């Protein structure tokens, strides 16, 4: 009897990769760790109140005063503010004290999202231009989206070790499909008469893509970016299980050590961050949708 175990074959593949390409995986690990560490240093360098002011101003500029107010209150709640009470030696402490964890989560999410966009947008453009690529990419994206996220941690840990890097790799695999799908969809939905008009003015294929198709498809692409960011943020808790820093740590402690207050605070901080990122990216997409596409070519 001939037996074929897909799981066993996948295990052999991972072991073969670990044995023969360990230097390449070490280089990738060091590069991603350098990116995350650098971004964390930048985000944590200013005092927390300066970052809160900047993020609040960004929410006001892009969204609205209401969103700015929510951002200020939410970020102050994640941070910790100590207010001395007059005429006493006591003080009022407001906030969770999770500012460092918040910035670590933002760094991990942004680096993972950047990797998703660097790979996902070109693949989406390629799929929109080539039907064979489109048919080949679809089942791969289905597999990436439907496979349980915890499964990605197994090869990620074996190939990249523990910590933030395998969390970023697992997040990249899990969060890339939306931006690929919606980039593909957005370019395919560009009206044919717009493309023909650009070509009639002598635009090359590259000029048509960069100056006509991508600007017209930008609202749809931004919807994909929004979904990718949300999926990346949803991996924070899962990544914490393999040693990634950030807001997932108090949630994991709440589950494994029954620290209810710590777990609830960590979950609430993730919700505040998710709402902030969601509203910012949605507002950017809405602005792109209301702007008149520039179909001129140089």
CATH code (residue 152):
1.10.3720.10
Q: Give the model's pLDDT for residue 217.
A: 86
Q: Is pLDDT at 173 greater than 60 in this prediction? A: yes
Residue 121 lies inside a defined structural domain of this protein? yes
Distance, CA of 95 to CA of 101 (rounded, Å): 13
Secondary structure letter of residue 209 according to DSSP: I
Asked if the model's pLDDT at residue 9 lies above 80, the reply is no
Per-residue pLDDT band at 295 (split at 50, 70, 90): very low
> Domain containing 117: what range?
98-290
Q: Does 66 fall in a domain?
A: no
DSSP alpha helix (H) spans, the chain = 6-20, 22-44, 48-62, 65-78, 99-129, 131-146, 149-160, 164-175, 177-188, 192-200, 205-208, 214-234, 236-240, 248-256, 260-290
296 pLDDT band, cuts 50/70/90, is very low
pLDDT tens digit string along 191-209? 888 888 888 877 787 888 8
Place 94 in a pLDDT band, splitting at 50, 70 and 90. Answer: low
pLDDT at 44 over 50: yes
d(Cα 45, Cα 278) in Å, to the nearest integer?
25
Question: Is the CB of residue 253 less than 8 Å from the CB of residue 262?
Answer: yes
The pLDDT of 208-234, averaged and rounded, is 86
As to burial, measured by CB atoms within 10 angstroms (0-12 exposed, 13-18 middle, 19+ buried), residue 1 is exposed
User: Average pLDDT of the chain?
Assistant: 82
pLDDT at 241 over 60: yes
**For 103-142, what is each residue's pLDDT tens digit?**
999 998 899 899 999 999 999 999 988 888 889 988 888 8
Share of residues in the chain with pLDDT > 90 (%): 8
Residue 9 located in a structural domain: no
Pairwise CA distance, residues 109 & 138, whole Å: 25
Pick from 246, 230, 209: nearest CA to 104: 246
Bridge partners of 84, per DSSP, are 91
- The answer as to whether 279 is a domain residue is yes
Spatial separation of the C-alpha atoms in residues 65 and 77, rounded to whole Å: 18
- Which of 1-15, 121-135, 228-242 bottoms out in mean pLDDT, i.e. has the lowest? 1-15
Average pLDDT over residues 37-53: 89
Q: Is residue 5 part of a domain?
A: no
Closest by CA to 79, choosing from 49, 104, 107, 111, is: 49
What string of DSSP letters covers 84-139? Answer: EPTTSS-EEEEE---HHHHHHHHHHHHHHHHHHHHHHHHHHHHHHH-HHHHHHHHH
Residue 268 has pLDDT above 60, yes or no: yes
Which pLDDT belongs to residue 298?
44
Residue with the bigger pLDDT between 262 and 187: it is 187
Work out the end-to-end distance of the chain between its first and last CA atoms, rounded to an integer number of angstroms: 67
pLDDT at 297: 46
State the total domains in the chain. Answer: 1
The pLDDT, as a whole number, for residue 56 is 92
User: Helices 22-44 and 164-175, interaxial angle, to 10°?
Assistant: 90
| Whole-number pLDDT of residue 122 | 92
- Which pLDDT band, with edges at 50, 70 and 90, does 92 fall under? low
Q: Is the pLDDT of residue 294 over 60?
A: no
Confidence of residue 244 (pLDDT cuts 50, 70, 90): confident
Task: List, in sequence order, every residue forming a beta bridge with 82; answer none if it has no partner.
Answer: 93
Residue 65 C-alpha from the chain's centroid: 25
* 210 and 295 Cβ atoms separated by less than 8 Å: no
Residue 122 lies in a domain: yes
Domain-embedded: residue 39: no
pLDDT for position 85: 59
| Three-state secondary structure call for residue 45 | coil
pLDDT for 4 equals 62
In a domain, 65, yes or no: no
pLDDT at 7 over 80: no
Which pLDDT does position 237 carry in this prediction?
Answer: 76
pLDDT of residue 291: 66
CA 39 from chain centre, in angstroms, equals: 14
Half-sphere exposure of 34 (CA within 13 A, CB side): 6
């Amino acid at each position: 009897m001939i037996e074929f175990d897909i799981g066993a074959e996948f295990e052999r593949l991972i072991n073969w990769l670990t044995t023969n390409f360990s230097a390449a995986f070490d280089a990738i690990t060091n590069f991603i760790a350098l990116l995350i560490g650098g971004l964390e240093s930048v985000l944590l360098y200013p005092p927390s109140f300066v970052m809160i002011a900047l993020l609040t101003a960004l929410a006001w500029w892009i969204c609205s005063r209401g969103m700015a107010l929510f951002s200020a209150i939410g970020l102050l709640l994640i941070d910790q503010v100590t207010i001395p009470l007059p005429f006493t030696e006591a003080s009022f402490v407001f906030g969770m004290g999770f500012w460092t964890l918040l910035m670590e989560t933002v760094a991990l999410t942004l680096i993972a999202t950047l990797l998703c966009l660097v790979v996902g947008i070109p693949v989406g453009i390629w799929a929109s231009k080539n039907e064979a690529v489109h048919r080949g990419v679809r089942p791969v994206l289905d597999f990436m989206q439907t496979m349980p996220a915890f499964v990605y941690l197994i090869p990620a840990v074996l190939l990249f070790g523990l910590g933030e890097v395998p969390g970023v790799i697992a997040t990249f695999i899990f969060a890339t499909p939306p931006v690929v799908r919606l980039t593909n969809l957005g370019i395919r939905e560009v009206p044919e008469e717009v493309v023909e008009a650009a070509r009639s003015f002598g635009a090359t294929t590259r000029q048509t893509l960069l100056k006509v198709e991508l600007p017209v498809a930008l609202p749809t692409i931004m919807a994909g970016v929004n979904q990718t960011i949300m999926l990346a943020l949803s991996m924070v808790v899962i990544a914490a299980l393999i040693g990634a820093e950030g807001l997932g740590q108090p949630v994991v402690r709440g589950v494994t050590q029954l620290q209810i207050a710590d777990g609830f605070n960590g979950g609430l901080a993730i919700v505040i961050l998710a709402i902030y990122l969601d509203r910012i990216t949605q507002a950017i997409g809405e602005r792109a949708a209301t702007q008149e596409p520039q179909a001129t070519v140089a």
